[in-house]
């Protein structure tokens, strides 16, 4: 079978691509606003938005590579990829380069590499392969198998410690399981069991993680301590009101009230400058993007493709929900970025790689070949 | 459209995903509407005018009181001038204006600004002047509105009502330096920390905990509203064992002389007075001492910053004969009644060692030798004992080790030994040096507090106590002297005889209403030059005069006191230290 036939190429999903480019473009403009003000204060010498453009360009370049082969060949690579991921995660735990207390990086000379990002790809692929093979709703055996396999890399990631990414992976696997459908008894057990287990999990959180959750529950208690971010973010967004203060006019970010405004809190800058109208439009854009992923999953040619797309859907869904939720003061502060908006090389690149897979699946939806 | 299994994945799954997307859209949109439209005005107000700032509320530093409750270290309000960089549009202009208001030069202010600017968090005031006078306060207060970013900060400041008298007990607080800021993360630049004395030792207890308040300020940094988040906790008040009246009395009696006096209760170890002269004015440090004044203090030949009772060690002179005697008692080196003949000198090889009394004391036994402080007797005794026994016993009585009084930088003193000399001087021990050690001259060094503790142990039945300055602490016994009751009694009686009997060197302490025992000592500063020998003390230049010691105890009924005095360059022990000690007993027993 040829790797890329012309027929598949004509079915490229231009709708999804357009949405992607729109989001990336708005993201860059917003990052320009978020980072140029940092320059005025002389805090940094790098234009974050320029670096982001560079990473988006690299990301775009990966799309042709990602659609070049038939995604069904990936089934054979699922286990080796999983093994490599575990190996690298273990390596990072033992020998990784530490950045602000968390050891996440493998130093490859000029570039450094986060195995956590690889884990996102391999967990999605592994779960998709496992779920595609299981008949009917997931039972106890299937559930425990999937959860165990996911727990290994997630455990390593939590130990780094990187709560945000760990949760993201765990939740996307959970989403995929729910998408497939769980045995009724399991559903009931989960509904009862999770509230019981949650307090126990509390003991395993690190102090700063506990503090963040407590701060979320009562941000006014320590407005300039841990709750500072939450309060300042709400003030910035709220003060945008209906129409916003305009591009580059956000006062909160200018006066450096907003922390981490080019990374996790980048949406507050957008909210302050573009107001409710801008935010609603952006939210709509994100939802259309997610909906488009649902469409790709629904039209994919086989269940493996459907599950991969579902995994990618949840990967983005949780990030959007948790990041916006935290910026808007609905959720505790967890280090989860907003896709296409938050500055970050590794995460931008992985976004494009995962979407490349989705394009791959989408364009092969009409290929009728039996194996 | 699906290949092998059309039910896989089920359509319910897709419905689930669609509901999630719709749910996300509704949830976030609702929240945005809530924040930006419903409460948008409020947040806009907060953003534009009402910016939150945090400020510390300074706790009162714990008081230091004397044993009867009199305040020795208190607090008074002080006004500091701070600058918030974020609110100040033109820092150099503001600094030069501050220089007009005060007597500080622009350069000095710029130096302070540069030193402290990196240590101050955003929107926190950088303290430029920690204590403004009332005149300065009035000037600045009226001009403050024209200088956004400048502010007056009111905070409690340490105050020592009678600074020099208690200076060496209390120590002082001053602005924390870089190292102290690193060691104490809760200290901010411009805040004070204990630097000497009890202020240093008890700093953590006295400091208390800062409270926090939130200020809502406008774009110019003007405070609109404030809310207390946590109240400050004042530091603990501490009762000392010091008797303020006694301390003041001693301070007066010592006059202009340099030296130290320790008054102690032998059974509890309570230090009733600890005077070291000259003292210094701790308040000058609190307000920020000028470079010039600081240099003057450092270069003062009388070294007012040194606590002579604890941080200085002196040759003990004849006071040390008590220690040598007790070693002799223990060793059974000689029967108590064995007499030596003192012709006024002692010959060792081809060297001649003189007794302080020309013509000598005649035949003397140990008791008489202590009483008259006969050097020749102790030369012979020292020779018999040998340096090894003397230094071993001296150490077992607590010499050459800290007494553990809660004051910083205590001097350990020095008891020489063969090993010590070989290690530090590089030459072997000479027999003549044993003779000098036996009369407390030569290398031996003791602090007044060590002598006081030793005499206290003689009086309290042999318990070597840790001297107490804090009232609530329990007496802590370090060890027992290896002396029997009879032996202690012999030493006490010899000291009593030194006061009460004819020819006793401490006759100045004699009184009718109490039992007093004492021992004088004269510590040679240098070997007197020929030209000054046989001269009266007043005829010898100050820095060549000997140090005068008086170690004593006084008992009336159940009241027992130890008084030790050291007068630097005072000349003879009895004549220089005697009157001061006598006046102390006068105060204690009246």
User: By percentage, how much of chain B surpasses pLDDT 70?
Assistant: 91
- The verdict on B273 and B223 lying in the same domain is no
Residue pair A325/B23 in contact (Cβ under 8 Å)? The answer is: no
Residue B345 included in any domain = yes
Tokens matching residue B228: 């207390």
Give contacts of A 292-321 with B, CB under 8 A: 294, 297-299, 301-303, 306-307, 310, 313, 317, 320-321
Question: Taking CB atoms and an 8 Å limit, are A179 and B51 in contact across chains?
Answer: no
The crossing angle, in degrees rounded to 10, of helices B320-331 and B375-396 is 80
Q: Is B25 on the interface with A (CB under 8 A)?
A: yes
Domain ranges of chain A: 6-363
Residue B571 scores a pLDDT above 80 = no
- The verdict on B319 and B234 lying in the same domain is no
Give the DSSP H/E element, type plus range, for residue A107: strand A102-108
Distance from CA of A76 to the nearest CA of B (A): 19
Q: Which residues from A are below 8 Å from B87, CB to CB?
A: none
Please give the Cα distance from B490 to B573 (Å, whole number).
22
Residue B26 included in any domain = no
What is the sign of the dihedral through the CA atoms of A319, A322, A327 and A328? positive
Residue B141 included in any domain = yes
Residue B519 scores a pLDDT above 70 = yes
Mean pLDDT, chain A, rounded, equals 83
pTM for this predicted structure: 0.60
pLDDT tens-place string over residues B447-499:
999 999 999 999 988 888 899 999 887 777 777 877 788 888 888 988 988 88
Question: Taking CB atoms and an 8 Å limit, are B31 and A290 in contact across chains?
Answer: no
pLDDT band at B563 (very low <50, low <70, confident <90, very high): very high
Tokens matching residue B171: 């120590």
Give residue A278's pLDDT: 95
Give residue A65's pLDDT: 92
Give residue B181's pLDDT: 83
**In this structure, how many other beta carbons lie within 10 angstroms of the beta carbon of residue B502?**
8
User: By percentage, how much of chain B surpasses pLDDT 90?
Assistant: 23
Give the DSSP H/E element, type plus range, for residue A104: strand A102-108
Give residue B455's pLDDT: 92
Instruction: Reduce the secondary structure of B431-448 to three states and give it as a string.
Output: HHHHHHHHCCCCCCEECH
**In this structure, how many other beta carbons lie within 10 angstroms of the beta carbon of residue A199?**
8
The CATH number covering residue B418 comes to 3.40.710.10
Residue B296 scores a pLDDT above 50 = yes
CA dihedral defined by A340, A345, A349, A352, rounded to 10 degrees? 10
Distance from CA of B221 to the nearest CA of A (A): 13
Average confidence (pLDDT) over B300-320: 89
Q: Is B19 on the interface with A (CB under 8 A)?
A: no
Mean pLDDT, chain B, rounded, equals 84
- The verdict on B76 and B213 lying in the same domain is yes
Question: Taking CB atoms and an 8 Å limit, are B24 and A287 in contact across chains?
Answer: yes
Give residue A44's pLDDT: 45
Give residue A2's pLDDT: 47
- The verdict on B257 and B192 lying in the same domain is no
Give residue A217's pLDDT: 60
Give contacts of A 223-252 with B, CB under 8 A: 223-224, 231, 234-242, 251-252
Q: Which of B443, B438, B555, B544 is nearest to B496 (CA)?
A: B555
Please give the Cα distance from A203 to B126 (Å, whole number).
40
- The verdict on B207 and B321 lying in the same domain is no
Distance from CA of B89 to the nearest CA of A (A): 14
pLDDT band at B505 (very low <50, low <70, confident <90, very high): confident
Report long-range pairs for A222-231 (Cβ below 8 Å, ≥24 apart). Answer: A222/B229, A223/B52, A223/B54, A223/B214, A223/B229, A224/B52, A224/B53, A224/B54, A224/B214, A226/A333, A228/A259, A229/A259, A229/A260, A229/A265, A229/A333, A230/A326, A230/A329, A230/A333, A231/B52
Q: Is B224 on the interface with A (CB under 8 A)?
A: no
Residue B383 scores a pLDDT above 60 = yes
Question: Taking CB atoms and an 8 Å limit, are B16 and A180 in contact across chains?
Answer: no
Residue B580 included in any domain = yes
Domain holding B225, by residue range, is 53-239
Instruction: Write out the DSSP string of B369-397.
Output: HHHHT-HHHHHHHHHHHHHHHHHHHHHHT
Q: Is A11 on the interface with B (CB under 8 A)?
A: no
Distance from CA of A111 to the nearest CA of B (A): 32
pLDDT tens-place string over residues B364-381:
888 888 888 888 888 888
Q: Which residues from A are below 8 Å from B49, CB to CB?
A: none
**Nearest beta carbon to residue A299 from set B1, B29, B86:** B1
pLDDT band at B1 (very low <50, low <70, confident <90, very high): very low
Residue B215 included in any domain = yes
Interface mutation vs chain B, best among A239, A280, A282, A328, most B CBs within 10 Å: A239
- Shortest CA distance from A286: residue in chain B: B25
Residue B576 included in any domain = yes
Residue B285 included in any domain = no
- The verdict on B122 and B146 lying in the same domain is yes
- The verdict on B393 and B526 lying in the same domain is yes
- The verdict on B221 and B101 lying in the same domain is yes
- The verdict on B254 and B197 lying in the same domain is no
Q: Which of B120, A252, B27, B219 is nearest to A260 (CA)?
A: A252
Please give the Cα distance from B272 to B577 (Å, whole number).
18
Residue B351 scores a pLDDT above 50 = yes
Please give the Cα distance from A223 to B217 (Å, whole number).
14
User: What's the total number of domains in chain B?
Assistant: 2
Q: Which residues from A are below 8 Å from B1, CB to CB?
A: 299, 301, 365
Residues of chain A with confidence (pLDDT) below 70: 1-5, 36-47, 96-113, 212-228, 250-261, 367-371
Residue B32 included in any domain = no
- The verdict on B465 and B329 lying in the same domain is yes
Q: Is A206 on the interface with B (CB under 8 A)?
A: no
Tokens matching residue B179: 């190292």
The CATH number covering residue B165 comes to 3.90.1310.10
Distance from CA of B95 to the nearest CA of A (A): 22
At residue B462's C-alpha, the angle toward residues B456 and B464, to 5°, is 60
Give residue B184's pLDDT: 82
**Nearest beta carbon to residue A241 from set B5, B24, B36:** B36
pLDDT tens-place string over residues A41-57:
444 445 678 888 999 99
pLDDT band at B531 (very low <50, low <70, confident <90, very high): low
Give residue B8's pLDDT: 66
pLDDT tens-place string over residues B121-178:
767 788 888 888 888 888 888 888 788 788 888 888 899 998 889 999 999 998 888 8
Residue B283 scores a pLDDT above 70 = yes
- Shortest CA distance from A318: residue in chain B: B24
């Amino acid at each position: 079978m040829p790797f890329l036939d012309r027929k598949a190429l004509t079915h490229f999903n231009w709708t999804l691509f357009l949405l992607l480019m729109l989001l990336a473009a708005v993201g860059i403009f917003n990052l320009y606003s978020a980072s140029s003000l940092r320059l005025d204060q002389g805090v940094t010498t790098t234009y974050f938005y320029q670096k982001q453009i560079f990473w988006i360009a690299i990301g775009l370049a990966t799309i042709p590579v990602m659609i070049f082969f038939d995604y069904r060949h990936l089934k054979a690579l699922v286990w080796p990829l999983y093994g490599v991921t575990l190996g690298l995660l273990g390596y990072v735990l033992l020998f990784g380069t530490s950045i602000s207390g968390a050891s996440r990086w493998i130093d490859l000379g000029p570039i450094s590499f986060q195995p956590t990002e690889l884990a996102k790809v391999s967990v999605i692929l592994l779960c998709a392969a496992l779920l595609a093979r299981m008949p009917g709703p997931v039972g106890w055996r299937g559930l425990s198998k999937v959860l165990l396999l996911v727990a290994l890399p997630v455990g390593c990631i939590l130990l780094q410690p990187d709560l945000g990414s760990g949760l993201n992976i765990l939740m996307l696997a959970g989403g995929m399981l729910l998408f497939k459908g769980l045995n009724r008894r399991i559903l009931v057990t989960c509904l009862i069991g999770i509230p019981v287990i949650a307090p126990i999990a509390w003991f395993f959180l690190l102090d700063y993680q506990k503090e963040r959750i407590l701060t979320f529950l009562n941000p006014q208690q320590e407005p300039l301590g841990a709750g500072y971010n939450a309060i300042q973010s709400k003030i910035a967004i709220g003060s945008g009101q209906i129409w916003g203060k305009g591009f580059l006019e956000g006062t909160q970010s200018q006066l450096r009230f907003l922390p981490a405004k080019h990374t996790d809190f980048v949406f507050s800058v957008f909210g302050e400058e573009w107001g409710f109208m801008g935010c609603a439009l952006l939210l709509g854009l994100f939802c259309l993007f997610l909906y488009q992923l649902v469409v790709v999953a629904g039209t994919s040619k086989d269940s493996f493709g459907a599950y991969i797309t579902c995994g990618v859907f949840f990967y983005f869904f949780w990030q959007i929900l948790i990041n916006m939720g935290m910026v808007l003061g609905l959720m505790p502060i967890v280090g989860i970025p907003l896709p296409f908006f938050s500055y970050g090389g590794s995460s931008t690149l992985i976004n494009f790689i995962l979407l490349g897979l989705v394009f791959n699946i989408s364009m092969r939806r009409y290929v009728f070949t039996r194996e | 459209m699906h290949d092998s299994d059309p039910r896989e994945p089920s359509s319910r799954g897709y419905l689930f995903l669609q509901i999630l997307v719709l749910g996300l859209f509704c949830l976030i949109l609702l929240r945005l509407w809530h924040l930006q439209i419903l409460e948008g005005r409020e947040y806009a107000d907060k953003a534009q005018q009402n910016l939150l700032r945090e400020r510390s509320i300074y706790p009162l530093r714990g008081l230091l009181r004397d044993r009867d409750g009199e305040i020795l270290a208190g607090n008074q309000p002080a006004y500091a001038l701070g600058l918030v960089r974020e609110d100040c549009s033109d820092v150099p202009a503001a600094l030069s204006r501050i220089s007009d208001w005060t007597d500080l030069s622009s350069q000095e202010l710029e130096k302070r600004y540069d030193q402290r600017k990196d240590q101050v968090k955003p929107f926190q005031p950088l303290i430029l002047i920690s204590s403004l006078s009332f005149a300065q306060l009035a000037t600045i207060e009226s001009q403050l509105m024209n200088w956004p970013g400048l502010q007056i900060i009111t905070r409690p400041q340490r105050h020592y009502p009678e600074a020099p008298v208690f200076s060496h007990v209390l120590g002082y607080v001053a602005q924390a330096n870089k190292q102290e800021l690193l060691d104490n993360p809760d200290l901010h630049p411009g805040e004070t920390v204990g630097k000497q004395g009890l202020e240093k030792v008890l700093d953590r207890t006295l400091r208390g905990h800062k409270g926090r308040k939130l200020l809502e300020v406008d774009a110019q940094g003007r405070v609109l509203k404030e809310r207390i988040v946590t109240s400050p906790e004042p530091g603990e008040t501490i009762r000392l064992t010091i008797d303020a009246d006694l301390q003041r009395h001693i301070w007066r009696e010592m006059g202009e002389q340099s030296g130290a006096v320790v008054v102690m209760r032998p059974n509890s170890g309570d230090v009733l007075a600890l005077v070291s002269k000259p003292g210094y004015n701790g308040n000058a440090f609190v307000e920020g001492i000028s470079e010039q004044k600081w240099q003057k203090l450092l270069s003062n030949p009388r070294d007012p910053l040194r606590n002579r009772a604890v941080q200085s060690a002196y040759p003990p002179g004849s006071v040390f004969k008590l220690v040598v005697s007790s070693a002799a008692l223990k060793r059974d080196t000689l029967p108590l009644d064995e007499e030596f003949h003192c012709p006024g000198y002692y010959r060792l090889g081809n060297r001649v060692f003189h007794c302080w009394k020309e013509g000598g004391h005649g035949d003397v036994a140990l008791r008489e030798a202590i009483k008259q402080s006969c050097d020749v007797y102790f030369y012979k005794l020292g020779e018999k004992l040998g340096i090894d026994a003397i230094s071993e016993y001296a150490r077992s009585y607590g010499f050459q080790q800290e007494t553990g009084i809660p004051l910083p930088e205590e001097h350990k003193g020095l008891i020489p030994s063969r090993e010590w000399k070989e290690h530090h001087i590089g030459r072997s021990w000479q027999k003549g040096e044993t003779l000098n050690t036996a009369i407390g001259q030569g290398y031996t060094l003791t602090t007044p507090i060590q002598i006081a503790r030793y005499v206290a142990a003689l009086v309290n039945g042999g318990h070597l106590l840790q001297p107490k300055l804090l009232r609530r602490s329990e007496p802590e016994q370090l060890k027992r002297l290896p002396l029997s009751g009879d032996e202690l009694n012999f030493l006490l009686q010899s000291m009593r005889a030194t006061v009460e009997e004819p020819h006793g060197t401490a006759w100045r302490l004699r009184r009718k209403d109490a039992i007093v025992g004492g021992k004088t000592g004269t510590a040679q500063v240098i070997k007197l030059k020929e030209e000054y020998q046989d001269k009266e003390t007043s005829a010898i230049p100050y820095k060549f005069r000997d140090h005068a010691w008086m170690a004593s105890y006084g008992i009336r009924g159940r009241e027992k006191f130890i008084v030790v005095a050291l007068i630097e360059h005072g000349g003879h022990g009895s004549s220089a230290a005697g009157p001061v000690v006598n006046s102390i007993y006068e105060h204690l027993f009246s």
